[in-house]
Amino acid sequence: MNDLVIILPILLPIAGGILGLLLAKRSKIQSFIGIATSALGVLVAGLLLHTVSVHNIISLELGNWEAPFGISFIADKLAALMVGVSALVALGISIYSIDDLKASARSQWFYPLTLFLIAGVNGAFLTADLFNLYVWFEVMLIASFALMTVGGSKPQFEGGFKYVAINLVASALFLAGLGLLYGKLGTLNMADAALKLSQLEDASLVNSSAVLFLVAFSIKAGLFPFFFWLPASYHTPPIAISALFAGLLTKVGVYALLRCFTLVFTQDTSFLLGSIFVLSLATMVTGVLGAASRFDLKQILSFHIISQIGYMTLGLAIFSQLAIAAAIFYTIHHIIVKTNLFLISGIIARRTGSHSLKHIGGLYKTAPYLALLFFIPAFSLGGIPPLSGFWAKFALIKATLNEAHYWAAAIALLVGIMTLYSMTKIWGEAFWKASPNTTDTKKSEFGYSGLASYMPTIAFALITLGIGFHSQPLFSFAQEAAYQLLNPEHYINQLLSTDYVVAVTQAAP
């Protein structure tokens, strides 16, 4: 049963995507398949979380080929948590898209491509092999590029070209790193690579691969100075697709950094973690400054993806259990909040006819419920207590101070203040100031906001409130996940047999 639980988060969306393609001309049935598959995905993810909570780590070897010789999947607490939150996002986006996308685009491509994308995301979270991580990255890249160009407008193709070009560079660097690592170790199984590297007298020779991995994952996560593709592309597709990308795709890069630099590349930490530390701070500052200078809702939110990624990777760079737990908690909080902010920005655009803050206003009077829906994720992102973002920032800054990184703590606080400034700017422009239009249009060129638009935004707002007012269960789970990351012997022993571990240890020089 445990084996089935691991593979279902991948097989289920693939099956749903294939079925959706076969019914491409029947939009209502295809929509039903997409939403039903996503709903089943939430149930499967919940079962996986429960199973991992009981057994700590579970694994699966396809074809009964023992690791490291076959294809392996593994679910620890970090992987299960990421699969769980990705399932929630997929379901919310699937429901929201009923109002957001034109029937033609939705009926032919959106739901199947979204399901294939989720399969790639879950595969990246659950794989135990570095080459298969590359494969799942490519599945994500193909599906996301196709999604980004759904509709075929010129801005979408421009954004899609930038997106795919830089991600192909990242994939090439990742593949080069894989080749170098395989040439050195003769394996790409993560547990086996970690075991063999721990036996090398001079494991720092593998830094060439580690740097290639760092650059490739930094591009995918949106770290400085590799983030330029993100604000140039994420604002171009329909809002449901932008929200899906904003919530999940960069977090797969963060996950890959967490996994590889706590399991595989753990020997020369002063160089690798020091590099991540500097890049994280630069990412936080440049991202928030980019957001502060923009007046387009989607561009502001896109730049804030960048700045918040810096917080997550800073936790990895500090490399304490509290810091990594804070990074995991921050990642989960940010996926929910950022997805919701994009969805709400879509409702604002449909109601006012624009994404530009200069052309909208007065929503506090005409749509007070929308003001409340925006307030919760926006001020959670800004770190206002007792919302989830406050606890995420509090834990990370506490971890930073514990390790005497006082300048990093100061920068994190300053970026938090600047984030709050951006959110209050949106609040003041979109909600408080008088509307520049004489009438408030509920239907515009962006479409109509019905129940399908509000259901996921309300649900995500309630989740944000739940995490904020009752943060201990999630943070305790994040601490357990961080403990597993910092003690990789549990991961290694789950995948590799005792005889194999003993043989590799005895054969070491």
For residue 449, which phi and psi values (nearest 5 degrees)?
Answer: -100, 110
Tell me the pLDDT tens digit for each residue of 119-154.
999 999 999 999 999 999 999 988 888 888 776 667
Residue 58 lies in a domain: no
Residue 55 lies in a domain: no
Tell me the pLDDT tens digit for each residue of 33-66.
889 999 999 999 999 999 999 999 999 888 778 8
As a whole number, mean pLDDT of residues 413-426 equals 90
Give the pLDDT of residue 297.
83
As a whole number, mean pLDDT of residues 410-419 equals 92
Q: 327 pLDDT band (50/70/90 cuts)?
A: very high
Check pLDDT > 50 for residue 439. Answer: no
For residue 356, which phi and psi values (nearest 5 degrees)?
Answer: -80, 130
Give the pLDDT of residue 107.
54
How many domains are contained in the chain?
A: 1
Give the pLDDT of residue 217.
92
Check pLDDT > 90 for residue 86. Answer: yes
Tell me the pLDDT tens digit for each residue of 262-294.
998 887 778 888 999 999 999 999 999 988 888
Check pLDDT > 60 for residue 441. Answer: no
CA dist list (Å): 120 to 221, 223, 293, 324: 15, 21, 34, 24
Task: Return the top range by mean pLDDT from 179-183, 276-280, 302-306.
Answer: 276-280
Give the pLDDT of residue 203.
62
Give the pLDDT of residue 353.
78
Host domain of residue 489: 139-507
AA identity, residue 225: P
Tell me which of 359 and 322 has the higher pLDDT.
Answer: 322
Percent residues over pLDDT 90 in the chain: 45
Percent residues over pLDDT 70 in the chain: 92
pTM of the entire predicted model: 0.92
Residue 107 lies in a domain: no
For residue 122, which phi and psi values (nearest 5 degrees)?
Answer: -65, -35
Q: What angle do CA 459, 9, 452 make, to 5 degrees?
A: 30
Beta bridge partners of 61: 72
Residue partners of 376: CB distance under 8 A and separation at least 6: 340, 387, 461, 464, 465
Give the pLDDT of residue 440.
45
Give the pLDDT of residue 497.
81
Check pLDDT > 60 for residue 103. Answer: no
Residue 291 lies in a domain: yes
Tell me the pLDDT tens digit for each residue of 210-237.
899 999 999 988 898 888 777 777 767 7
Check pLDDT > 80 for residue 196. Answer: yes
Residue 123 lies in a domain: no
Give the pLDDT of residue 390.
92
Residue 328 lies in a domain: yes
Is the Cα dihedral 206, 207, 210, 216 positive or negative? negative
Q: 444 pLDDT band (50/70/90 cuts)?
A: very low
Residue 495 lies in a domain: yes
Calculate Rg over the CA atoms of the chain.
Answer: 22
Strands (E), 358-456: 443-444, 447-448
Work out the mean pLDDT of the chain and round it to a whole number.
86
Give the pLDDT of residue 350.
83
Residue 59 lies in a domain: no
* Closest-CA residue to 321 (of 470, 478, 489): 478
